[in-house]
Structure 1
Amino acid sequence: MPVFAIFTKYFKKHMIKKWKAVLFDMDGTLIDSEWFYYKAWRAALKAYGFALGSELWLNELAGKTDGQAFEFLRSKHGFEANREEFFEQVRAHIAQQHEEETVPLMPGASDLIHFLHQREITMAVVTSSKREVAIYHLERNGIRHFFSVLVTRTDVQWPKPNPEPYLRCVQELGLAGEDCLVLEDSLTGTEAANSAGLTCFGVQSHESIRQMLNVDRSFDNLHEVREFLEKL
């Protein structure tokens, strides 16, 4: 191999980066699960005579914990149901869907993960899903081993939009906030990242939602994020 080619390969792998770690949101950013959970919630709500539209889901519920979403529907839309009975139905629909389909990675996720891994950039996942759910999706897609830290709803007292999940992740990584880049797709997630004082890129294919995100940069998908980072 020519000396120049060897140098170029070494430089690309070891070059100093602006960020030492990339913190991924999971649902809707890393894993294409928003529609998966939307279908389960829509089916459960239908039994109560409540029609859940996709815009309401994407604009108001995506990124929230189950409890936050339930409370939002109760307080803002007058939804009434026994909490435990309702979530039993949601879980039943989710279990049935798991038997019928696998929740895939978002477009460009695998490419971006390997791009960062090759450049020795630390990766973490910060999600509002419970720990067992997050591990299930990450392992089923064969990517769990790429992430040094996993912060879930189970691990914090206050989930997103509170900054606690991101602050905890930064602490566990042993890094300064300015060393970390966050990738998020929802209003709830970007608010959490901003409150934690972190640089946040919005990754959202729905233009109407993307325009509402208060982020440092916006991208349509993870392919675009990789292309941007490659130019740094």
Structure 2
Amino acid sequence: MVSEYDFWLLDLDGTLVDVEWSYTRDVFDRVGDRLGYRFSDREAEIIWNGLTGSRDHQLREWGLDPGEFWEAFHAEEDPYVRAEQTFLHEDAEFVGDLEEPVGLVTHCQEFLCEPVLDELGIRDWFDARLCCTEETGWKPDPTPVQRVMNDLGVGHNGHRGVLAGDGACDVGAAWNAGLDAIHVERIGHERRGQCVLGDYRVRSFDELDHPYFA
């Protein structure tokens, strides 16, 4: 299956890498202290992984102002500590062997993303990368995906591409940009509370070599 595509786009957090839970819990404790709100383990997991879709919508449902939350969240995140606490999923190592153009499209902010790429030694895996912002738009908006495609030189010119990610927003961005979508379920349907449909649904990228996906 890997050879079927002319280019690959990938999400970062939850797809290629994850962060130790102790780091996540500590960040939400400190953010909660700033906001006067106690985040349960489940609430921290929901926001960290975007389990219910729009994080801003979820925060509003809990009575929190998204702007205040993200200001506190980014103030409490230490990019270098986060990088040290981030690990690469073993099944994601195939990305480093891809011969096709590879792009990164992530919601992880640049000041956090860059140290992670350096710490894990995976910067050279990507021929183009984009950290989404309000200006670029957020997945499932196809705009950031299309920008990376243009940077790779694989715009709307007959190239067949795929986007792999762990969230429904990744699948939506892929389809909105006219790409195939791979959903890698790192969390489990039970904890997520829903099934995410994609052209391919896997628990590990190792499954992509299975005859079912050929």
Category of TM-score, reference length = shorter chain:
0.7 to 0.9
**Aligned partner of 2:183 among 191, 202, 220:** 202
Which protein is bigger by CA-based radius of gyration? Answer: 1
Q: Determine the structure 2 residue equivalent to 1:113.
A: 95
- Percent of aligned pairs with the same amino acid: 22
Measure, in 1, the Cα distance between the counterparts of 2:72 and 2:121: 29
Runs of 4+ with deviation above 6 angstroms: none
Q: Which amino acid aligns with 2:130?
A: V
Question: If each structure's strand is expressed as a fraction of its own residues, which one has the higher value?
Answer: 2
Q: Trace 1:15-34 onto structure 2 (pairs within 5 A).
A: 17-33=3-19
Counterpart of 1:20, as a letter, is D
Distance in 2 between the 1:136 and 1:223 partners? 27
CA distance in 2, matches of 1:206, 1:99: 20
Structure 1 position 60, deviation (Å): 5.9
Q: Deviations over 1:177-215 (max 9, x none)?
A: 651111110122222222222100111133314952120
Task: Show structure 2 runs of 5+ residues with no match.
Answer: none
- Cα distance between partner residues in 1 of 2:79 and 2:148: 32
| 1:151-190 matched pairs, under 5 angstroms | 151-154=130-133, 156-176=135-155, 179-190=160-171
Structure 2 CA distance, aligned partners of 1:188 and 1:37?
24
For 1:170 and 1:24, how far apart are their aligned partners in 2?
12
Matched, 1:62 2:49: yes
173-182 or 127-136, which moves further after superposition?
173-182
Flag the 1:61–1:192 CA change in 2: closer, same or farther, 3 A: farther
Q: Determine whether 1:49 maps to 2:37.
A: yes
Is the 8 Å Cα contact of residues 151 and 169 (structure 1) preserved in structure 2?
yes
Query: 2:169 matched to 1:192?
Result: no
Report if aligned partners of 2:139, 2:169 keep a CA contact under 8 Å in 1: yes
More helix by share: 1
Aligned to 1:72: 57
CA distance in 2, matches of 1:162, 1:179: 19
Q: Which runs of 5+ in 1 are unaligned?
A: 1-15
CA contact (8 A) 1:125 1:150 kept: yes
Secondary structure of 2:17's counterpart equals: coil
Code of the aligned partner of 1:77: W
Instruction: Work out whether residues 80 and 115 of structure 2, in 8 Å CA contact, stay in contact via their aligned partners in 1.
Output: no
Aligned to 1:10: none
Q: C-alpha displacement at 1:115, in angstroms?
A: 3.4
Aligned residues: 204
Distance (Å, rounded) in 2 between the aligned partners of 1:132 and 1:45:
18
| Matched-pair contact (CA < 8 Å) for 1:191–1:214 | no
